[in-house]
Amino acid sequence: MRRSSRALIVGGLVIAAALAFILYQGLSNNLVYYITPSELLARGAAAQGQDFRLGGQVRPGSVHVSHGMHTVTFILQDPRGAVHVISEGIPPPMFRAGAGVVVEGIYRGDIFNATTLMVKHCATYRPPTPGTVPAPDNCVT
């Protein structure tokens, strides 16, 4: 009886460890991280030509949209740094000056060439009151 109990416990531990490993791999593969403009600039020459996911705030007054070429240029900033961004394609409807944005692309020279532009939004949604026009973000602040 002792031997079968020990084998059962060892087998249970092996199964638990396998499930924990699968759970860990699934979560770590789905987590998405980004660096800030100041972290990108701190990497210096090592960042040149590298793929990054960069997150920050769109500097007010820096947005320029070229409708004919379907590009948007802007400055992405954090409290300690700023990076010029060029993004191909039409930006999402919530994209505006002051918005939180995450871009994916390649850093070349002083320009970040974005292939993907995503607008960050708050986690708390507040529906507009009846008869009013919705605010751009409907976030509770």
Tens-level pLDDT at each residue, the chain (141 residues):
577 888 888 888 999 998 888 888 776 666 667 889 999 999 888 888 888 899 999 999 999 988 777 889 999 999 999 999 999 888 888 888 888 999 999 999 889 999 999 887 766 666 667 777 665 555 544
| pTM for the model | 0.67
The tokens for 47 are 């960042």
Task: Give yes or no for a contact between 141 and 126, defined as CB atoms under 8 angstroms apart.
Answer: no
